[in-house]
Structure 1
């Protein structure tokens, strides 16, 4: 594979820029004919047909793969590598790949379906038998499996060996064609890094539509459109399977993007059945666009003007003050001798008001509501709730000897899983009614040991046994609410044990794992499985629990005589002891 720089071509204006692109591709095509399979040309950003310039602030850096036709002089391995290059270029130019296939294979092979992603250093295993003219040759490609990109653009990490068999046949005049191959596109990790971008899209929570929920996808960039256009085009479609039925959108069916342009401001022209007289629709649509662009570092700090069929519709000023990603109170708490205390920035503080601030035994697994006015705890007979006021009192609201630790929903309801009866329970303090059952058929028969609702009120982490963590979502509305859409997030090997899980923000989950070799703390993106390790070098004692809210991470460590609380510093590498002794169970509201 060769790499070339984009040739410089004189000229200005729209017509000159178009000629410049045409000349660039012509020169590259001439250069690669002497090569062996492909070339990569750097493009400063996905180019918009209306502004095929080079420094569009709505774009992302991009390199386009140019594949060439199979050559008469190529052997089996060169042909297979050329086929791989044609697959990498297929989305931009689908005409080259079929030239690698026999008519029979061309009729059977289908590019649709999940994209398989393997490591870059794959191995081609050639047949050992002597080659005869016209004889079919089976060639095996071996590598390590990295991920799968589904048709809904979700990115699913995988692992282990990958192997694919390709049948090639020599053709008259020289060279080979592929007679049989697996369906779908096969890309390398480098192909995906070059042409795809991890992208956060923002939808509305299903019930109240008062908060945005992030949906992470891998978008394939194209040289004919800006990254901003790719983001909004995908936002008009359904969310990934992880959030199907759990979120909604403000864009009515039939909405289209007519154009996106930028100077001092970003101007987005839409068309479709948008109710331009409904102020609630305007607010929702504006929020989805703003966060989907700005959270991906597009249009950040600039005014966004939205038009409908060319007519002014809405203007979104930079740094608008709203609560679309509001989580909860950022007050931290901890427990000492059974009494719940506030935790100041510098360490311990006073006890909370009411019975929760009084020392007592037999209460554990404390959880705080969104506004920090109610606290729940597990006892030997069930789950009790108390208000954080001087007049508050503990009241058992859910009975059961084998319940998971309580978790609050942002709507004020309290949840737990009844392990003995395999039932998910929801208690609404405002209703005065007994706890209701919520359908969760995929959990039946599983050893559910932990359940925590994310602060977005949609995603739910479920831990089964000591080794497996899944992410689900609450779908449906009112009486039709259901916990489903489960996807495996992580597992541990035999001998390891997951000690705790905690939401840090809408996208990330902290997973604490213990083993004979020590402990690890990982922050995992629940949208694509990306893992970032959090060092525990400064924590000299075994960690038993963690709590987090955005950039703040607290950990309880168990010493020989007592417990202490550490806080992760802003460098995300070192820890500081915040409370020296008799302090544990750090917690934030929700999460």
Structure 2
């Protein structure tokens, strides 16, 4: 087995040529081109580069042919005419572009496997690369790791060159192809639990030369949510809704014309529809700061102004607290700010894993683990500690934005929900995907839908609270990250509705990473202290830190996201945000 030479570019890539989003024509002379697609000053578009592939050349060998085929795959959604020219009629009849898009590292090898038969009529090759990700048919982006290798069969073509006789189904793109032509995009759907909350759904959308990015976003918003949120969210767009046109009218107004079974007299739909459109556009830096005028069949429907912030994303509050000697304290901007009223502000032994409910019209509740279960107290002078869930194998409690308290009973394999408003004991919630797993933590996001679950010592999974006629269930569970065998997960905390902070450590040291739960994008955060607990909200990150003498303090990540500042220097730990 021999390896053909590695080519940084098997065929020349010309310098990018600027052209407007209306399109331009380029005559290739030596290989596939990337062509810039831009919309100067247009708030509805995104600049990007479009691949223009060329047919196989008679002088190309197998390596160049396979690389040209891969470039044709990158160009296929915009121009499907080039790729078939690389295939034999047999391959063309079997190959399909459907299915997940495979994303590999830019540097890949074409490895010869020798002739397939005695006559050498069929030559077999293998493409070897590092597997980066898959873009699934619902547009979700799933990072992967490890090697990727697949067989390709080639035959010599009449007139010179090669054609591909056999290849894996689906499109094969490099990481650079995806960076060039796709954009991470946040779509917003309504929570299936609370209709006044929105949940972000992260997808990868391909930019199209034939339409503005604003239209691409809204066309995708008309489709169902990704599998990660299936059954957990709803939409204001009734089935059959269409985007007839989107145009930029003047400097400050975007006009969207819809058609379909919308009721112009239903103000509740108008309200949520406006928020879905506003967030899905502006949070992706499209039409940001513009007035959005929505028409229905060309007639005025409603006008949404950029200052209309309904607080649909997160109104849980960012007041900070901490625990000292078992007592809950307020935390000011620069240090201690006093003890909370009532028994929750008094020292207690044997209480741990404190967590706070959402702030609202009434004082929040604090929950904590004891030796016999989970107890709750109000942050008021008359508040009393009351055991609400009994058990000795319970995960640290987590508050839901609807006011309920959740934990997982590891001894019996039950997910439990306690509603203080009902006055009844905890109820069981179905969680079939957790059966048989070693559940160690369960943290509900502030959107009230996503749930982070740690299992064993080093795995984080993400699920969603789904709803159907049978009730609520924790479903859609899928792996988010797994640390090395010798590194255990010490704590997790929701930074916001789409990012999870993961603290991991071993004898060799600790790591703190922020992971986008929608696409796995990971950012490392430098550490200056030995951390044990995390809390985050509103862009702030607090942590319990220990020094060399095992004394605890509360530290805060600075705005530069590179350094930390000690906020409570002595006898302080377990930093808390409401729902954090």
State if a TM-score over 0.5 links the two structures: yes
- CA drift of 1:461 comes to 0.2
Mapped to 1, the partners of 2:228 and 2:503 lie a distance apart of: 23
Deviation at 1:173, TM superposition (A): 1.7
1:243 aligns with 2:243: no
8 Å contact kept, 1:44–1:55: no
Within 2, Cα distance between the matches of 1:407 and 1:39? 53
TM-score by length of 1: 0.93
Cα deviations by residue, 1:522-556 (Å, 9 ceiling, x for unpaired):
010000000011111x32xx210111003110011
2:42 and 2:306 map into 1 onto residues whose CA distance is: 19
The 8 Å contact of residues 116 and 124 in structure 2, kept in 1 or not, is answered as no
> What is the match of residue 51 of structure 1?
none
How has the CA–CA distance of structure 1 residues 39 and 578 changed in structure 2, closer, same or farther, with 3 Å as cutoff?
Answer: same
CA–CA distance in 2 between the matches of 1:519 and 1:454?
24
Please tell me whether residue 413 in structure 1 is matched to residue 404 in structure 2: yes
Q: Is the 8 A contact 2:535 2:575 kept in 1?
A: yes
Is 1:6–2:10 an aligned residue pair? Answer: no
Q: Give the structure 1 partner of residue 256 of structure 2.
A: 268
Match of 2:393 in 1: 402
1:584 to 550, 565, 573: 573
State the partner residue of 1:48.
Answer: none
Shift in Å, 1:80: 0.5
Residue 476 of structure 2: aligned partner = 485
Q: How does 1:220-299 map to 2 (within 5 A)?
A: 220-262=206-248, 263-264=250-251, 265-299=253-287
Report the counterpart of residue 317 of structure 1 in structure 2.
305
- Residue deviations 1:137-179, cap 9 Å, x none? 0111111010000000000000111111100001222111111
**Distance in 1, Cα, partners of 2:488 & 2:357:** 29
Cα 1:80–1:435, aligned 2, differ >3 Å: closer, same or farther? same
Distance of aligned partners of 1:224 and 1:130 in 2 relative to their CA distance in 1, 3 Å threshold? closer
Distance 2:17 2:365 in 1: 62
2:343 and 2:385 in contact (8 A); partners too: yes
Pair 1:197 & 2:183 matched = yes
In structure 2, stretches of 5+ residues that fail to align are 1-11
Three-state SS of the structure 2 residue aligned to 1:481 is strand
| C-alpha distance in structure 2 between counterparts of 1:356 and 1:3, whole Å | 68
Which residue is 2:517 aligned to? 526
Q: Where do 5+ consecutive residues of structure 1 fail to align?
A: 10-16, 46-53
Q: Deviation string for 1:495-528 (max 9, x for gaps)?
A: 1110000001001000001022211100100000
Q: Which residue of 1 aligns with 2:340?
A: 352
User: Deviation of residue 74 (structure 1)?
Assistant: 1.1
Deviation for aligned residue 1:433:
1.3
Q: What is the deviation of 1:2? A: 2.1
Q: 1:469 and 1:5 mapped to 2: Cα distance?
A: 42
Corresponding pairs, count: 563
CA-based RMSD of the aligned residues comes to 1.6
Query: Does residue 43 in structure 1 map to residue 46 in structure 2?
Result: no
Residue 361 in structure 1 maps to residue 349 in structure 2 = yes
Q: Distance in 2 between matches of 1:365 and 1:578?
A: 20
| Alpha-carbon displacement from aligned partner over 1:321-356 (angstroms, at most 9, x marks no partner) | 311112312110100000000100111121111111
1:8 & 1:247 partners in 2: Cα distance? 40
Q: 1:19-34 residue pairs with structure 2 within 5 A?
A: 21=23, 24-25=24-25, 28-29=26-27, 32=28, 34=29
How many Å apart are 1:477 and its aligned residue?
Answer: 5.3
The answer to whether the 8 A contact 2:231-2:468 is kept is: no
Q: Give CA-to-partner distance per residue, 1:179-206, whole Å, 9 cap, x none.
A: 1101110000000001000000000000
Residue matched to 2:7: none
